[in-house]
Amino acid sequence: RFRYKDLSGERLRRKNDAPGETPEPPQRMTKRQILTLISIASVNFSSMICYSILGPFFPNEAVKKGVSQTVIGLIFGCYAICYLISAPILGNYIVQIGTKFMLVMGLFVSSVCTILFGLLNRVPAGATFISLCFIVRSVDAVGFAAAMTSSFTIVVKIFPNNVATVMGSLEIFAGLGLIMGPPVGGWFYQSFGYEVPFMLLGCFLLVMVPFNIYVLPVIEAEPSKDSFLKLLMKTKIVLLCYVTFTLSAGLGFLDATLSLFAIDTFGLSPGYVGLIMVGLSLPYCLASPLLGYFADKYPVTRSWFMVIGGTATGIGFWFLGPAPFFNISSHLWLLVLMLAIIGFSLGMTAIPTFPEIITCAYDLGYEEGLSTLGMVSGLFGAFWSLGMFYGPTVGALITQNLNFQWAAVVQGSLAFLGVSSYTQITLFMLFYSNNEQSKTPRWPTSKISIFMAVAIAFAFRLICTAETPRPPALCVLTQSSRTF
């Protein structure tokens, strides 16, 4: 029986190496580590394919059962809400529960729920069908929250020196799950009916249970007395969580609104819309391992990656429509190009975020143990799921009341806000650390805030001078901009 106590010793030894000593060359991965990577990759793949498989056919089946569009949206949204609630709790008690037990039981619960969801077409229409959809989907979210939280913790514990590299490589499988879910699910549904996609996926998850029981290590650790809420008291961690929120919100927004916009604007078939969505996922999958490698090899690049990636994400969303105040008509080539830029920039921002939160937790005084990793994993998963709930619901609401172009502008503005806030706190910490004797920053944040306010006012000035219709919500800001 393989027991894993602390493989982070290699990282600690590198810290304690004398300046004149030559560090030991990095060892090749063991067979156990390779099998563990395969296990975690399968968890990432299955979680994303379970999330995305419903899109092509479940709304149509739900309508046949007398379910309204609003309730269908809530059925999709309850997954993210339950993930949001359960991930921090499971992460906080991961030491008491055990990482291996949590992951295996999470997979088992999710496999059973996936199979049960495939049997819901036999349930009577109306309140019974709706209630069971909510129950099964919610329990499924708790199961995958357990599996994903423990998988993040295992990755960081086993690969302490290559967190971003490993997570970037694992994002390939998450992206494959998002890409393959809709077409594979739609093909099986069209060929064999409603039940077959869920039965196959549920059986795949069930087969993974004994495999993970054999492969995964037993990680031993002592419970920590550190508080979960203390993590949220550090400004930089809050901003990193907000960045995580904007990333998932952007993906959720595109899932809910892009297909209808592409069909209505360019007259594309659903099949071509699926190919366009590949333009978003493919750059993310291909870039993630390379970005993770650089983030690990040169940790100083993490902040640059997040700032540049967030800025590119905001620009991509503003030109996705494009924004009405640009006076540019919509073109298919521009849409595909902006999706590729958004996909690459999302990877540029997402990959360094998790290891950066861990570094901030250690700087805050948290012990380098399993308990801290569990809390960080739960926090990361909670804000990611919050964005996955916010993106589709609020994005669809803005699209319904205004249009897709303005909804994309709002989404891009969220990314710009995250970048500006993170840049401000990073500059503050930089100038504060460079002037430790006086304990005062050489460039006060008030000046940065004034600069940002002027930039925002100038942006609204451009909006107000554009000869394009604006939504009523911007009237007050427009008048203020003219006064300024």
Query: What tokens were used for 175?
Result: 């992206």
- CA nearest neighbour of 320 among 330, 309, 308: 330
| Domain locations in the chain as residue ranges | 1-10+29-216, 224-443
Q: Is 161 helix (H, G, I), strand (E, B) or coil?
A: coil
| CA–CA separation, 235 and 238 (whole Å) | 5
Helices 332-363 and 235-266 pack at an angle, to 10 degrees, of 170
**Tell me, which fold does domain 1-10+29-216 have in CATH?**
Growth Hormone; Chain: A; (1.20.1250)
Location of structure tokens 């924004």: 323
Q: Is 469 helix (H, G, I), strand (E, B) or coil?
A: coil
209 touches 111 (CB < 8 A): yes
- CA nearest neighbour of 226 among 397, 398, 95: 95
CA 76 to chain centroid, in Å, comes to: 16
pLDDT digit string (tens) for the chain, length 484 residues:
334 444 444 343 344 444 444 444 455 777 777 888 888 888 888 888 887 777 667 777 888 888 876 777 778 778 888 888 888 888 888 888 888 899 999 999 999 999 999 899 888 888 899 999 999 999 998 998 898 888 878 887 788 777 777 877 787 788 788 777 777 777 888 788 888 888 998 898 888 888 888 888 777 666 666 666 777 777 788 888 888 898 888 887 887 778 778 878 888 776 677 677 778 878 888 888 888 888 878 877 788 888 888 888 899 999 988 888 888 888 888 888 999 999 898 888 888 888 888 888 888 777 777 777 778 877 888 888 888 888 877 887 888 788 888 888 998 888 888 777 777 666 655 555 555 444 444 444 444 444 444 444 444 444 444 444 444 444 433 343 343 3
163 touches 358 (CB < 8 A): yes
Fold match between 1-10+29-216 and 224-443?
yes
Report the 10 Å Cβ neighbour count for 68: 11
Q: Is 471 helix (H, G, I), strand (E, B) or coil?
A: coil
Task: List beta partners, residue 4.
Answer: 219
342 touches 317 (CB < 8 A): yes
Burial class (CB in 10 A: 0-12, 13-18, 19+), 152: buried
**Is the pTM higher than 0.75?**
no
Cα dist from 381 to 144, 419, 483, whole Å: 11, 20, 43
What architecture is domain 224-443?
A: Up-down Bundle (1.20)
Query: What tokens were used for 2?
Result: 């393989």
